[in-house]
Each structure stands twice: as C-alpha cells, then as structure tokens.
Amino acid sequence: MYRDADHPANASPGSDSTVVIVGAGQAGLSAAEKLRANGFAGSLVLIGEEPHPPYQRPPLSKDYLLGELERDRLKLKPEDWYAKHQITLRLGTGVVAIDRAPRSLRFADGGTLAYDRLVLATGSRARTLPDAVSRGLAGIFTIRSLADIDRLREVFDKGGRLLVIGGGYIGLEIAAVARGHGMAVNVVEAADRLLARVASAETATAVEALHRSRGVSFHLGTGVSELLGPDRVTGARLGDGTVIAADIVVAGIGGLPETALAGEAGLAIENGVAVDSHGRTDDPYIWAAGDCANFSLPEGGLRMESVGNAIDSADLVARNIMGARQPYKPKPWFWSDQFDLKLQIAGLSRPGDMVVVRQGQGAGRSHWYFRENRLVAVDGLNAPRDYLVGKRLLAAAVSPDPAQLLDPAVALETLARSPA
C-alpha cells in the first residue's frame, strides 16, 4: 500500500480539483455525500453503469419483487438532490479503462474524463452457475440488480415451482418471499446446513425450522448436477440422484467483487481491490470503498458485502481524501427479513466461536458469540433489544459474562464486565 507521507496526493483536493467516483450504488453515493459534507468544493462526478440513479437494494428481493413497493421509492435521494449538491450524475455509462499516468478514465463510447482523485465503488456481482449445470437454459435468475428483479417479476407466479440454489441469506430471503406468494419452494445447499459460512449452527437450525414450518423443502449436503429442460428449465437433477421439478431457478450462491477495471489498471487485487487501512490503493490517487474493497487491517484482510460496510467505508474514504488519515474500524451489522423473523446481526463470528443462547420473551432469542472469552458478535432473532445491547457492548469492547447470559431473569444491562 501507499506510504509516502510527503506525496502531493496527500494534500486535500481543492476547489479546482475533480473527484470521480465509479459506481453509483450505496457506497458511491455515500462517498459523494460525505465528500461534500467534509468540505470538498471541487467538481464531483458519480458514474453508474446502470441507467438508474442510486437505489436501495435490500427491498428488491422482498417488497419490490412482489409489486408492493413502487420503483420511485427505491431511490436513495430525490432527483433534485444531486443538482443541489453539485454532483454530476453520469448514468448508463461504462468505464472501460483507467489510464493512471495521465489520471484519466476511458468510456465505452470513446470519451475520456480526467480526475485528481478516483474512488472505486464498483461493488460486487452475482456468482453464476457453471455452464455444465445451467446448460444455457432460460428461466435461471440471479439476484443483484434492479434489472435482475424486473426480469424475475415477469415470471414470478403464485402457482409456480421455485428452486433456490444456495442456503445463504439471499437464497433464504427469496425462498420466504416466494413461499409467502404461494409458490412451491425447494432449496438446495451443498453444505450440510444452512448459513454455514456466516452464522452459527444454532442460528441456522432456528432459521431452517421456521422455513420448514412454512412449507419450504430443503436438500442439504448435495448440489445440483444439472438443470433439466429442452430450452427452458423444467427441473434439476441433484448430486444424490434426486430430481426436482422447477419452473424458475434462482442462483443465490454468493457474490464476487468487481475488480476487472482495477486489475486491468495494474492495481493490487486480493479478494477485492486491495486497500490499506485508510482505504487507499497502491496508487496514491485511487481509493476504494464498499463491496469491492479489501481493507488491510491488523487482524487481516477484511471485505464485507453489506449496506453498513458500504456506508461506513465510503464515509472513511471521503474523510481521508480530505486529509483525516484515519484507519478503518469496522462496526459490522446486517439484517435479514424472512417470513415474520427479523434476524439482526452485529459483529463478525467465525466457525469455532463459543455460542451462548439467550432465550427472550415469547419466540425471541439471541445468540452471543465469544472468542477467548471476548464477545465478538451477536445474532438477534426477533430480539431487537438484545441486538441493540450487544451492538453497544461490541462498540465499547465490553463483554458480558457468558454464564449469566443463560439466565433470562438477569437484565442485559447488568451483564457488562471490564473491557475485553
């Protein structure tokens, strides 16, 4: 990463400077907003490959898919906000190259745009099925963009049969929406349980039980060998030989950081665009934020795909471009809505963490993750109070006593002990 403290790139860009942000999602918009809030008075350009102004992604696979949320309400800012803040939006525009020596971008139409500072907020893309599995059949969908959901809406049928490949959050959210819409739903997950990479067995078991109670069928510990059909998907053959009928297939098998533009420009790529703890690449004039950025932190590289990370990392990059020189201190948080379950997560857990289950009132419960007696994460399952308390304790680096967590009669506020 870049280390020269006396380099001109460390000076805050002035009113005659141009900052260009590539990527008009949550991170790109947040970076633009925070640059203005931190005093940048120069030219600010926000470039998006999609034709739509920055919009919310979480509602896409829920209310918007079902037609219960109008497209206009997806917008993160009203249309006149950009002009008021002197932010130039260039939408439906693909950047094909970064020319680092003259500090210029090249576009698909042959045009160019010079920059003094560049922020890459290119996000991530949905991982797709191998050709040997998908066989070029119609009726296969991924969940990432507004266009993806618009295509899915056209065939989302109450009497239809949906196959979801992948038992992560995206796949389970789609399964819940489809089942609530009256569709028959099968979920196939190659791991032996749901949410294997992102949640404890306790959380996964609770989520699976909820889905099964609502009629979702699961096929765990096996994958899809091939999708079936002459030209449009009619079903799937699993690795264990099971054949499942399906009219629609959604591949919810994770995402990949969008790094092609950065990689072709010679920037370091390490599970994303490699940046230092300040958000800067090995080019002193180029920064990265959001899903595409892999931060180098004392505990190792960190790349997260979440709204919270998009906002927080973009805020950091904007402040550092303006001279703050602050390291990223992630405060991970995430949520998932499935049927009547609100799953709220704070912190980052790992396989092997000790998990303490705290039973709340009614059906609510929370799962507390400890590593070497230190609180590292909390999952709230219809337990917003537990989640908020856990989030505050994590921010303060204070751990509750694991033994006392098991007693619902002990108030959470009394469980704090000395800082971890």
| Annotated domain spans of the chain | 8-125+255-321, 129-251, 340-419
Each residue of 137-155: pLDDT tens digit?
999 999 999 999 999 999 9
Q: What is the mean predicted confidence (pLDDT) over 342-357?
A: 94
Predicted confidence at residue 56, as pLDDT, reads 96
Contact 310, 26 (CB under 8 A): yes
CATH label, 8-125+255-321, candidates 1.10.340.30, 3.30.413.10, 3.30.110.40, 3.50.50.60: 3.50.50.60
Query: Whole-angstrom Cα distance, residue 402 to residue 405?
Result: 5
Q: What is the pTM of this model?
A: 0.94
Quick: pLDDT tens for 263-275: 999 999 999 999 9
pLDDT beyond 50 at 379: yes
Q: What is the pLDDT of residue 419?
A: 44
List the CATH code of the domain at 340-419. 3.30.390.30
pLDDT at 416: 56
pLDDT tens track for 321-334:
999 999 999 989 99
* pLDDT of 420 higher than 50: no
| Percent helix / strand / coil, the chain, rounded to 5 | 25, 30, 45
Residues 257, 241: contact at Cβ < 8 Å?
no
Q: What is the mean pLDDT of the chain?
A: 94
Q: Same CATH fold, 129-251 and 8-125+255-321?
A: yes
What is the signed CA dihedral for 282, 100, 126, 233, rounded to 10 degrees?
-150
Give the per-residue pLDDT at 6.
74
Band the pLDDT of 159: cuts 50, 70, 90: confident
Q: What is the pLDDT of residues 13-43, one digit of tens each?
A: 999 999 999 999 999 999 999 999 999 999 9
Per-residue pLDDT band for 418 (boundaries 50, 70, 90) equals very low
Pairing outcome for strands 224-228 and 217-220: unpaired
Given a contact cutoff of 8 angstroms between Cβ atoms, the answer to whether 19 and 44 are in contact is yes
The CATH class for the domain spanning 129-251 reads alpha beta
Decide if pLDDT at 4 tops 50: yes
Residue 231: alpha-carbon gap to chain centroid: 32
According to DSSP H, which parts of 304-374 are helical?
307-321
How far is Cα 57 from Cα 251, in angstroms, rounded to an integer?
A: 17
Q: Quick one: angle between helices 201-213 and 169-180, nearest 10?
A: 20
- pLDDT > 90: what percent of the chain? 87
Which of 239, 32, 212 is CA-nearest to residue 119?
32
Give the DSSP H or E segment for 390. Answer: helix 384-395
d(CA 313, CA 297): 13
Residue 377 confidence (pLDDT): 96
